[in-house]
């Protein structure tokens, strides 16, 4: 009996000691969630942005004769490099040479007629002055009218000679600029019509590229100097470029503005029309952000169904906890959404997973997301 009581007493004592010393449950540790984030106003991500585009020839033109006739000379082939004013082709000039000589002959004949008309007019005036009865005023008027008609004919024939000379000169097809022949549309001895394309000439000494920039950068675009273009075919070649023009009209679909860049051909590569590339302009991004606009990714903002207000999660850099903050958004651009009020530069915000966070939750910054 005493033995059984001893066992029961021992079990009760053990239970009491276990409850007093180790019976309390250890609370689970809080999980620190990693979240993508960005520092507001930090250009680190944006400076690496690029604007895609395709190369175009600085100048390109289909050349044609202003007159028609058989081609007797075709001096170039596809791929030939030509200089400005170089003869590329020629039409048979014989008919135009004859036309010029005929016009010149008529002009010389009329000039001789003018000399006779002027002499007759002067003679009629002299006779009337010396002996008024030997002639009449009407005879003087007829002589003057003949002189004036002859002078008018000379002016008309001089214009005809100039036209005939121009037509003879137009039998030559000359290069309006230095470039490369990329296509021919006629052959020697072929009869061509006026304005019929004969060959295509492109200027490859310089290259153009059109890129599209967001509207928040349009006001500072023309002040940018440090633009480089990298083409996919030559990834190790950085080509310096300059802004040729910025279109004042935005695309209705993307609300971006076409900006035309121009660059010289690099010495170690040959950029051809149609090659894809990208333009990078660090100072363009800095200038755009320094204009007073704060831009955040579209996924960083969320709305409350109850109030209809818009919020972002601000991360405390010291405690690494998130706090919901109301913001006022502006226009949506290619780079993201403009924040009109509610954020300051230097603050950290979550950029993804915003619908699964809660006030006071501890987080870990996983990456800095670019504002684009």
pLDDT at 248 over 90: no
pLDDT at 4 over 70: no
Q: What is the pLDDT of residue 198?
A: 96
Greater confidence, 353 or 170?
Answer: 170
What distance in Å separates the CA atoms of residue 230 and residue 241, rounded to the nearest whole number? 10
**CA-atom Rg of the chain in angstroms:** 43
The model's confidence at residue 260, banded by pLDDT at 50, 70 and 90, is: very high
**Cβ pair 366, 34 in contact under 8 A:** yes
Q: What is the pLDDT of residue 5?
A: 54
Burial state string for 197-217 with b = 16 or more CB within 10 A and e = fewer than 16: ebbbbbbbeebbbbbbbbbbb
Residues 6+ apart with CB under 8 A from 89: 65, 71, 73, 74, 75, 76, 173, 186, 198, 199
The model's confidence at residue 133, banded by pLDDT at 50, 70 and 90, is: confident
What distance in Å separates the CA atoms of residue 74 and residue 81, rounded to the nearest whole number? 14
Q: What is the pLDDT of residue 372?
A: 39
pLDDT at 230 over 80: yes
Q: What is the pLDDT of residue 333?
A: 64
Q: Domain 47-57+205-289 in CATH: superfamily?
A: Efflux pump adaptor protein, beta barrel domain (2.40.30.170)
Give the start-to-end residue ranges of the domains of the chain: 34-44+293-368, 47-57+205-289, 94-169
Question: In the chain, what is the straight-line distance between the N-terminal and C-terminal CA atoms, in Å?
Answer: 84
**Cβ pair 140, 128 in contact under 8 A:** yes
**Cβ pair 313, 324 in contact under 8 A:** yes
**Structure tokens belonging to residue 90:** 């020629």
CA distances from 318 to 37, 43, 363, 367 (A): 15, 22, 11, 17
Q: What is the pLDDT of residue 285?
A: 47
What DSSP line would sit under 127-147, residue for residue? HHHH-GGGS-HHHHHHHHHHH
CA distances from 196 to 63, 66, 67, 283 (A): 8, 9, 9, 47
The three-state secondary structure class of 151 is: helix
What distance in Å separates the CA atoms of residue 53 and residue 281, rounded to the nearest whole number? 14
The model's confidence at residue 50, banded by pLDDT at 50, 70 and 90, is: confident
Greater confidence, 39 or 203?
Answer: 203
The model's confidence at residue 334, banded by pLDDT at 50, 70 and 90, is: low
Among 40-44, 138-142, 239-243, 276-280, the least confident range: 40-44
The three-state secondary structure class of 149 is: helix
What distance in Å separates the CA atoms of residue 298 and residue 329, rounded to the nearest whole number? 10
Greater confidence, 153 or 305?
Answer: 153
Percent of the chain with pLDDT strictly greater than 70: 80
pLDDT at 36 over 70: yes
Q: What is the pLDDT of residue 249?
A: 84
Q: What is the pLDDT of residue 46?
A: 40
Across 175-184, average pLDDT = 93
Q: What is the pLDDT of residue 86?
A: 96
pLDDT at 67 over 90: yes
pTM: 0.54
What distance in Å separates the CA atoms of residue 333 and residue 215, rounded to the nearest whole number? 7
Q: What is the pLDDT of residue 335?
A: 63
Among 11-25, 237-251, 316-330, the least confident range: 11-25
- Residue 323: exposure state from Cβ atoms within 10 A (0-12, 13-18, ≥19): middle
Average pLDDT over the chain reads 83
Q: What is the pLDDT of residue 175?
A: 96
Residue in this structure with the two tokens 């609370």, named with its chain if needed = 27
What distance in Å separates the CA atoms of residue 31 and residue 38, rounded to the nearest whole number? 21
Pick the CATH number of 34-44+293-368 from 2.10.10.90, 2.30.140.10, 3.40.140.10, 2.40.420.20: 2.40.420.20
Across 62-90, average pLDDT = 94
Closest residue by Cα to residue 35 from 363, 361, 316: 363
pLDDT at 306 over 70: no
- pLDDT tens for residues 315-326? 998 888 999 999
H helices of the chain, in order, are 2-21, 94-130, 137-169, 282-289
Closest residue by Cα to residue 65 from 204, 168, 179: 168
**Structure tokens belonging to residue 102:** 């005929």
The model's confidence at residue 191, banded by pLDDT at 50, 70 and 90, is: very high
Q: What is the pLDDT of residue 339?
A: 87
Q: What is the pLDDT of residue 76?
A: 94
What distance in Å separates the CA atoms of residue 49 and residue 101, rounded to the nearest whole number? 66
**Cβ pair 57, 207 in contact under 8 A:** yes
Across 226-240, average pLDDT = 90
Strand partners, 326: 311
Q: What is the pLDDT of residue 256?
A: 80
């Amino acid at each position: 009996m005493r033995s059984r009581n001893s066992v029961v007493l021992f079990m009760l004592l053990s239970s009491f000691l276990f409850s007093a010393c180790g019976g309390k449950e250890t609370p689970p540790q809080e999980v620190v969630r990693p979240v993508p984030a960005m520092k507001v106003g930090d250009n680190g991500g944006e400076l690496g942005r690029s604007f895609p585009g395709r190369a175009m020839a600085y100048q390109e033109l289909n050349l044609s004769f202003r007159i028609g006739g058989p081609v007797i000379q075709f001096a170039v082939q596809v791929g030939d490099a030509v200089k400005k004013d170089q003869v590329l082709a020629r039409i048979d000039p014989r008919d135009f040479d004859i036309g010029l000589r005929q016009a010149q002959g008529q002009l010389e004949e009329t000039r001789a007629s003018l000399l006779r008309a002027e002499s007759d007019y002067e003679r009629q005036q002299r006779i009337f002055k010396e002996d008024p009865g030997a002639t009449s005023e009407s005879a003087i008027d007829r002589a003057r009218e003949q002189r004036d008609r002859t002078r008018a004919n000379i002016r008309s024939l001089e214009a005809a000679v100039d036209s005939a000379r121009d037509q003879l000169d137009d039998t030559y097809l000359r290069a309006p600029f230095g470039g490369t022949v990329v296509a021919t549309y006629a052959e020697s001895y072929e009869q061509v019509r006026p304005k019929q394309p004969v060959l295509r000439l492109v200027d490859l000494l310089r290259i153009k590229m059109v890129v599209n920039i967001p509207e928040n950068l349009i006001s500072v675009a023309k002040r940018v100097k440090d633009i480089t273009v990298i083409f996919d075919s030559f990834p190790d070649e950085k080509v310096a470029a300059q802004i040729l023009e910025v279109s004042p009209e935005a695309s209705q679909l993307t609300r971006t503005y076409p900006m035309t860049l121009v660059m010289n051909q690099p010495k170690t590569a040959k950029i051809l029309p149609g090659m894809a590339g990208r333009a990078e302009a660090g100072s363009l991004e800095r200038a755009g952000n320094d204009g007073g606009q704060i831009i955040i990714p579209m996924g960083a903002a969320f709305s409350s169904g109850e109030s209809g207000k818009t919020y972002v999660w601000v991360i405390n850099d010291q405690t690494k906890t998130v706090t919901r903050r109301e913001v006022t958004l502006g226009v949506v651009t290619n780079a993201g959404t403009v924040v009109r009020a509610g954020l300051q530069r230097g603050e950290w915000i979550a950029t993804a997973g915003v619908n699964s966070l809660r006030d006071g939750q501890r987080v870990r910054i996983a990456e800095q997301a670019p504002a684009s």
